[in-house]
Structure 1
Amino acid sequence: MSAKHLNYLSSEQALADFAVLIKDLKKTLPGAQKSPVIAIGGSYGGMLAAWLRMKYPSSVAGALAASAPILQFIVPCGEFYRVVTHDFTISSANCSSSIRRSWPAIERFAATAEGLQWMSLTFGLCAPLKSPEDVFAFKAWLQETWVNLAMVDYPYEANFLQPLPAWPVKVACKHLQFTAGASDRELLYGISQAVRVYYNHTGAAACLNTSQTGTSSLGYLGWFYQSCTEMVMPMCTDGIQDMFEPEPWNFQAFSDECFNTFGVRPRQDWAETVYGGRDIRAHSNIIFSNGNLDPWISGGVTHSMSESVVAILVDGGAHHLDLRYNNEHDPESVIKTRTLEVRYFKEWIRQAARTLRSES
């Protein structure tokens, strides 16, 4: 990807493309000219769905924005990782505290060549840990693993990011029920087994690659570029209200990383400026659905703004569970959510039909 082409990678360009596409489809598809359109999306796609209704209300009659963190730009930087921690805390006693204690344990093992070798073998790493830089990357890999497990904590087997068992956080936490008296070796062995729930549930992996987290199919490079231009989402950890090593949000360091990678610097407040932040009451016909297990609920709209800008909470739901196929293990909350969403869709279609009749 060249910077020349990455310039087109923006939410504003995507919304304009969708608006043009809808107009063209209505012209070219038989019978589609007067058909109402509803935008549906999850995660970033959910953000685009909501923004499409806001910016191009004549193009779509309504929008379902599932797990869409449109407020992540302006919420406290630690909220995201607090939700991750809460997921592990409620899944098993001592689970999140075991993960919190693993970081200094890793550092103690990393202080010797024997410790580095033991960790490399115990975790079954494809490339052994040899340097402080390797250890830093290893810990970042672990942190993202815990985040991803929380995000896809579905009540049935799924392979959205990786092939995973039902309730993967609970499965991982079975290996992390240590009390404060556990040795570093016991603790890190448990961590190695918990990590395998995410990376080797099928047993097919010969080794674990710390340069991969199972999200490559989601277009990480593209998202990083957008983070470096318009999607600035402050993230931080404190090691107290969350289970991670303390890391403050440093906008200048982030900006420098963006410049070194892409030759651009982020517009820190642009997303709030162009899309309105919390002040979206003037809009209409948007559903914001969020699962309370999904870390991205930290930046989601969780309270209804009006009769037609509504928020739905999916109890026991992870990342856009309501958009996934029906499953016999679906919680009652997501079944009711889908029914309510369809009810809104039908009402929006009726509204659009009435508007068309009044204009003809």
Structure 2
Amino acid sequence: MARLLFYFSFICSSMLWSKANSDQRYSLETRYAEVPVTHFEWLSQMKTFKLRYLVNAKNFERTGPIFVYVGGKGDISVYAQNSGFIFDISKTFNAMIVFIEHRYYGQSLPFTNESFSLDNLKYLTTREVLADVMLVVNLLKKSTYDNAFATETPPIVAFGSGYSGALAAWLRMKFPYMFLGAVASSAPMAFGSSVQNCECFYDVVTKSYEKFGSEQCVKTIKLGWDVVINLARSKLGLDFISSTWKLCRRLSSTDDVERLLEWLSNIYIRLSLSNYHYPTEYFRSLPAFPLKVFCDKLTTSFFNDTRGLIEFFGQALQVYTNYSGKAACNEFEELSDYVFNYQQCTELVMPKCSIDSDMFINKPWNYKNFSMECKNRFGISNPNEDWITLFYGGRNLKYYSNIVFGRGDMDAYGCYGINGNVSSTIWTLDVADGPHHAEMRNWDVSDNNYIILARKTYVQAIKNWLNMFP
């Protein structure tokens, strides 16, 4: 798995530098910081690893701010490539841009090829990640100024989207002396038992398929679950699915089938999250409105039997799995998913349940069952579902300031976000028809007015924060 992630990182880095060569606004210098494997066990701090971060100082002036984008569950170059808004506004603010990779993702592996053993994964926590960011920021300030804590050093604004958006908000909340404010797009802030509406996530995904695909597409997807499950009950069926869907590893066990069903769910979710109005290279190489393209392929097909349906599903799934036509086969468990699943079994418990009205397999949320799954997969028998809320405050933000949240109404992660405005300095911007972090992407002529307004509001918020800075 480590080899797979390294290869993925190399490809993404190549994509990033290719873009940089065509537009110098997006060029980034790769740097590495030596950080402790753990910041909280003093005897273990002798063990370090190289944490990757990317810097663009093209428009930076000493009086300007530093924009720090916190990496999330993926290669940092992918985040940089898909967060053009920060580059677009850097000249306005004379800002330095920094993208900091999340430990255990991309190239920032604490134990190189052994990073994903269960014993080594214990250092994958949000506290360690925030401490990594603070160390890199301190290093940057020291390299630019004589004293990292001197009053003349520049203000810092945190940025992020999705899980990394939550990290950006937590940086402002935990370290207000270092971070002047945070722009958090599609940020889940509610976890564990504080989530009251577990069916919301799959409901939003289903509505996006109904709106941008069709009701027939939703019906066909719902039909497909039983077809896959029934076919997977025999070895011949497993072999047929494996070959027809070009899986890199043949299905052979009940666990394999569970992972396959999870893989299918993730594809449907990601097609919804990345349903942008132009071609992108975010999760994969995807066309404009990939959800619609997938549904069109699925619903214009004709099949006589269950095997025919499986074949047409396989063809439609290639919109996500192999739109570029370069993939030799499909991995049905990606390493980044494995790592984030571990995080969900420790700190980031995100209750999800599916019911009759959505297009997913019916599955109630049950903490005991979830805990058993975590025990079987990672040896973790009691995920701490309330730790994040206790440590960061969840949705209770009334004592904080200077955070702007963006949320697309077609982004399922908005279900875990902040509803409405909390105060005069903590706002939520709703982006109509918006998928995941659409307003954080670079400007495009086809952007709708809601995306444009969200970006203008972000800029005004940052200006307001900077005016507070002496």
Q: Do they fold alike, i.e. is TM over 0.5? A: yes
Structure 1: gaps of 5 or more residues? 354-360
**Who is 1:14 aligned against?**
129
**Equivalent residue number for residue 198 of structure 1:** 320
Contact 2:191 2:388 in 1 (8 A): no
Aligned to 1:42, which of 152, 156, 161? 161
Moved more, 264-273 or 340-349: 264-273
Check conservation: 2:168, 2:184, Cα contact below 8 A: yes
CA distance in 1, matches of 2:450, 2:119: 45
Distance apart, 1:311 and its partner CA: 0.3
Deviation at 1:111, TM superposition (A): 4.8
Rounded to whole Å, the distance in 2 between the matches of 1:139 and 1:260 is 17
**TM-score normalised by structure 2 residue count:** 0.67
Which one-letter code corresponds to 1:192 in the other structure? G
Does 2:144 align with 1:25? no
Opposite residue 82 of structure 1, the aligned amino acid is: D
* Matching residue's letter, 1:56: F
Where 2:299 maps in the other structure, the secondary structure is coil
Q: For 1:110 and 1:7, how far apart are their aligned partners in 2?
A: 35
Matches within 5 A, 1:200-219: 200-212=322-334, 216=335, 219=336
User: Using the alignment, how far apart are the partners of 1:17 and 1:112 within structure 2?
Assistant: 48
Pair 1:145-2:267 in alignment: yes
Aligned residue in 2 for 1:78: 199
Displacement after TM superposition at 1:133 (Å)? 4.5
SS at match of 1:312: strand
In structure 2, give the amino acid aligned to 1:6. Answer: L
The residue identity in structure 1 corresponding to 2:452 is: I
Q: Which has the higher contact order (CA 8 A, sep 6+)?
A: 1
Using the alignment, how far apart are the partners of 2:227 and 2:373 within structure 1?
Answer: 29
* 1:117 CA drift (Å): 4.7
2:4 equivalent in structure 1? none
Q: CA RMSD in A?
A: 2.7
2:420 aligned partner: 303
Of 172, 177, 186, the residue aligned with 1:58 is: 177
8 Å CA contact retained: 1:44, 1:68: yes
User: What is the Cα deviation at residue 309 of structure 1?
Assistant: 0.3
Taking a change above 3 Å as real, the CA distance of residues 37 and 109 of structure 1, as seen in their structure-2 partners, is same
Query: What is aligned with 1:356?
Result: none
The change in CA–CA distance for 1:222 and 1:123 in structure 2 (over 3 A counts) is: closer
Residues paired across the two proteins, number: 347
**Superposition map of 1:1-360 within 5 A:** 1=115, 5-30=120-145, 33-73=152-192, 74-75=194-195, 76-93=197-214, 94-111=216-233, 115-177=237-299, 183-212=305-334, 216=335, 219-238=336-355, 240-264=356-380, 265-353=382-470
- Code of the aligned partner of 1:317: G
Residue 174 of structure 1 aligns to a residue whose secondary structure is helix
Q: Which protein is richer in strand relative to its size?
A: 2
1:36–1:259 CA distance, 2 compared to 1 (3 A): same
Contact 2:191 / 2:385 at 8 angstroms: preserved in 1?
no
8 Å CA contact retained: 1:92, 1:177: no
How much has 1:286 moved relative to structure 2? 0.3
Q: 1:127 to 1:260 in 2, by over 3 A?
A: closer
Q: Secondary structure at the match of 1:139?
A: helix
Cα distance change on mapping 1:140 and 1:25 into 2, 3 Å = closer
Aligned pair in 2 of structure 1 residues 339, 102: CA closer, same or farther (>3 Å)?
Answer: same
Letter in 1 for 2:424: E
| Residues 164-173 or 301-310, more deviating | 301-310
SS in 2 for 1:293: coil
Unaligned runs of 5+ in 2: 1-114
Identity of aligned residues (%): 36
Query: Does the aligned pair in 2 maintain the 1:287–1:310 contact within 8 Å?
Result: yes
